[in-house]
Copies of this chain bind each other. A is one copy, B any other.
Amino acid sequence: MTAEPTEPPSQTVYRLLRRAIIEQALRPGARLPEDAIGEQFGVSRTVVRQALGRLEAEGLVETRRNRGAFVAEPTLEEANQIFEMRHVLEREVIERLVKRISVIGLDSLEAHVVQEERVRGKNGPVSIRLAGEFHTLLAELSGNTVLARYVAELVSRCSLILAMYSRKHSSDCAVDEHRQIIQALRDRDPAKARRIMDEHLGAVAGRAELAEEKEDDLEAVLARYGREMTA
């Protein structure tokens, strides 16, 4: 039996915090004190710090000197730039996939959409995450890992933006649009694929309105997300 190399704790913390942010359990502006997080996850500040550092590099977290880390609050200008770049990169993804996506690739997209359908309307946070992961999966199928990494980063930052500037994350329509994208790829129709992706991203970006603030209960959130760690 191969001795599976266990994941380093900093990565676990990183992963869980990231998911909590993307699923909007931790909302923009929320404080992220090192000792509170470390205590919940049963690790020292050292490893929490590493995780926060990575999240900061990805733009999901902002840290202020001697003040600590906070879930990032992108300005409207940043939000526009992020959407712009996402658009540029996802267009590139589609262009590549229309040319050379494999049957296996199409199947994995189908499988993902089926998953999305399954949680449709049931679980808000999870459906938010799955909707984003559809785009990440597309980018991965492009075969260029750099492109995939950038898209993943931008998609996750978009979750943050929607949390700030849209009233509700109505991802119901998204599933149908995702199906349309798959169909266009299957048809090998570049114009159609590009048009649908443009519309889809436009729809996502269009949900930008102002939303009211809502306080988080950090401990409760961490307890929920930390279960995986202590178990």
Binding site for B on A (CB under 8 A): 5, 8, 50, 53-54, 57, 65, 78, 81-82, 84-85, 88, 92, 144-147, 150, 154
A159 vs chain B, min Cβ distance (A): 16
Chain B residues with Cβ below 8 Å from A8 are 65
A44 vs chain B, min Cβ distance (A): 12
Chain B residues with Cβ below 8 Å from A85 are 144, 146-147, 150
Chain B residues with Cβ below 8 Å from A78 are 145
Chain B residues with Cβ below 8 Å from A50 are 53
Contact A84 B144 (CB under 8 A): yes
A34 vs chain B, min Cβ distance (A): 14
As for how many copies of this chain the complex holds, the number is 2
A194 vs chain B, min Cβ distance (A): 15
The docked-state distance in angstroms from the alpha carbon of A66 to that of B50 is 16
Chain B residues with Cβ below 8 Å from A146 are 81-82, 84-85, 154
Contact B57 A144 (CB under 8 A): no
Interface residue from B54, B88, B92 paired with A53 (Cβ < 8 Å) = B54
Interface residue from B54, B81, B92, B147 paired with A145 (Cβ < 8 Å) = B81
Chain B residues with Cβ below 8 Å from A88 are 92, 147
The docked-state distance in angstroms from the alpha carbon of A92 to that of B88 is 8
Of chain B, the residue at the smallest CB distance from A50 is B53
Chain B residues with Cβ below 8 Å from A154 are 146
Chain B residues with Cβ below 8 Å from A150 are 85, 150
A181 vs chain B, min Cβ distance (A): 20
A131 vs chain B, min Cβ distance (A): 21
